[in-house]
């Protein structure tokens, strides 16, 4: 892949003025409305065994704008409305290819509030970004510089549940190029006591990002539960307090995982992991909180797209491979090995640390797969439970 073709999304916080916040909130509402209207029309056609294309939904949008009921759609930029129709088209394409579930309607309370602007709907000059329908540039907190000479091709504005505003700039990044080849390979076993265990014997402690805020979060959630349901100011403030705590936990977790995955990609040419079905594992009510806090799926996601950027290989070994019960020294297989057993002695006399042994076996299996070309590297998982092709790295944030 040419470095000129690698695009990265650089995300920044920004502080909108009152006028800008109102304009963006209107845009978010219109984007959600158009998406739901188009999805409703396509769902009705689907029931009649008919297909509706993007061009047809675009024509519908033009007709909707001419009605008295939906005339307010003319008050916001037309580009985010067209982009949400393209996103809906992509959702149906993935559904028809059995890579995702049937598209769902967007909820005002639960869906992500965002709007996407293409190059004809924003102006970026001298580090100042001005969106369509706005007279003033956004007050962006430039926490890091964009790549030298970078020109954004797409801008996505969003607001999270904690009320924070973000702008994501998609642009080419010359630094996202293959790193010098290294002969290093490592097996990585994930866990709860230790977040990661490497085949080298190194263990990374589980930071348990949720634990420091657990008491505060529980108190805030109890306060929210006592508020009368509805749109009252008290409930809104209580909900915002809960969201801010969750956001702080998620920020710490994401930062830690970025540092770990970047280190692994820089130091190793081949990284072998286990293909875990985290979606099924969190059904264990005893371990659900700990597994969710460890964020194994997010770790794999970050690792895979960074490896694609920098010319590394990630091998996922089948989840049924008995990595823990197999002796990495002599190859003998134990019949049973309860989770409570952290160290065990093989008949050959080798004393194994359960996690280190598993990482060594994963490495051996992954290298065999890579060398032989066997097709046991599973495809990426999707929310719908269907296998899917790997996401393009150009759609990822660093």
Nearest CA to 33 out of 87, 73, 74, 83 is that of 73
- Three-class HEC string of the chain: CCHHHCEEEEEEEEECCHHHHHHHHHHHHHHHHHHHHHHHHHHHHHHCCCCCCHHHHHHHHHHHHCCCCCHHHHHCCHHHHHHHHHHHHHHHHHHHCCCCCCCCCCCCCCCCEEEEEEHHHEEEECCEEEECCCCCCCEECCCCCCCCCCCCCEEEEEECCCCCEEEEEEEECCCCCCCCCCCCEEEEEECCCEEEEECCCCEEECCCCCHHHHHHHHHHHHHHHHCCCCCCHHHHHHHHHHHHHHHHHHHHHHHHHHHHHHHHHHHCCEEEEECCCHHHHCCCCCCHHHHHHHCHHHHHHHHHHHHHHHCCEEEEECCCCCCCCECCCCCCECCCCCCCCCEEECCCCCEEEHHHHHHHHHHHHHHHHHHHCCCCCCCEECCCCCEECCCCHHHCCC
- 9 bridge partner residues: 170
Rounded to whole angstroms, how far apart are CA atoms 101 and 99?
A: 7
- Residue 189 annotated in active site: yes
Rounded to whole angstroms, how far apart are CA atoms 190 and 273?
A: 8
Catalytic, out of 23, 116, 274, 304: 274
Catalytic, out of 189, 210, 293, 304: 189
| Pairing of β 7-15 and β 165-172 | antiparallel
- Return all residues near 243 (Cβ < 8 A) that are at least 6 apart: 160, 161, 162, 163
Give one word for 111, left, alpha or beta, with left for phi > 0 and alpha for psi -120 to 50: beta
Tell me the catalytic residues. 189, 274, 355
């Amino acid at each position: 892949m040419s470095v000129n073709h690698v695009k990265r999304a650089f995300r920044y916080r920004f502080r909108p003025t009152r006028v800008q916040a109102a304009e963006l909130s209107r845009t978010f509402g219109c984007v959600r409305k158009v998406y739901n209207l188009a999805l409703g029309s396509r769902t009705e056609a689907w029931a009649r065994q008919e297909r509706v294309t993007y061009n047809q939904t675009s024509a519908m949008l033009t007709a909707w704008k001419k009605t008295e009921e939906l005339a307010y759609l003319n008050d916001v930029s037309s580009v985010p409305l067209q982009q949400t129709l393209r996103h809906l088209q992509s959702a149906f394409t993935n559904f028809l290819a059995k890579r995702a579930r049937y598209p769902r309607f967007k909820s005002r309370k639960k869906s992500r509030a965002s709007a996407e602007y293409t190059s004809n709907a924003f102006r970026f000059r001298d580090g100042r970004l001005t969106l369509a329908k706005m007279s003033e540039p956004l007050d962006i907190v430039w926490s890091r510089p964009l790549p030298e000479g970078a020109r954004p091709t797409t801008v996505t504005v969003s607001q999270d549940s904690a009320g924070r505003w973000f702008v994501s700039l998609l642009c080419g990044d010359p630094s996202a190029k293959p790193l010098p080849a290294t002969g290093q390979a490592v097996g990585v076993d994930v866990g709860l006591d230790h977040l990661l265990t490497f085949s080298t014997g190194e263990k990374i402690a589980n930071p348990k990002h949720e634990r420091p805020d657990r008491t505060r979060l529980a108190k805030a959630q109890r306060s929210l539960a006592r508020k009368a349901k509805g749109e009252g100011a008290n409930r809104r403030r209580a909900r915002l307090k809960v969201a801010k705590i969750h956001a702080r936990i998620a920020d710490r977790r994401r930062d830690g995982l970025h540092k770990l995955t970047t280190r692994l990609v820089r130091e190793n040419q081949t990284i072998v992991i286990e293909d875990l079905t985290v979606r099924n594992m969190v059904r264990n009510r005893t371990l659900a909180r700990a597994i969710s806090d460890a964020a194994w799926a997010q770790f794999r996601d970050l690792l895979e797209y960074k490896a694609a950027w920098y010319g590394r290989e990630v091998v996922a070994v089948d989840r049924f491979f008995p990595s823990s019960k197999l002796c990495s020294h002599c190859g003998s297989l134990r019949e049973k090995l309860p989770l409570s057993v952290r160290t065990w002695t093989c008949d050959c006399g080798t004393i194994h640390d359960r996690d280190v042994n598993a990482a060594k076996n994963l490495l051996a299996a992954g290298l065999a797969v890579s060398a032989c070309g066997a097709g046991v590297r599973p495809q990426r998982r999707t929310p719908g439970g269907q296998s899917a092709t790997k996401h393009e790295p150009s759609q990822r944030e660093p």
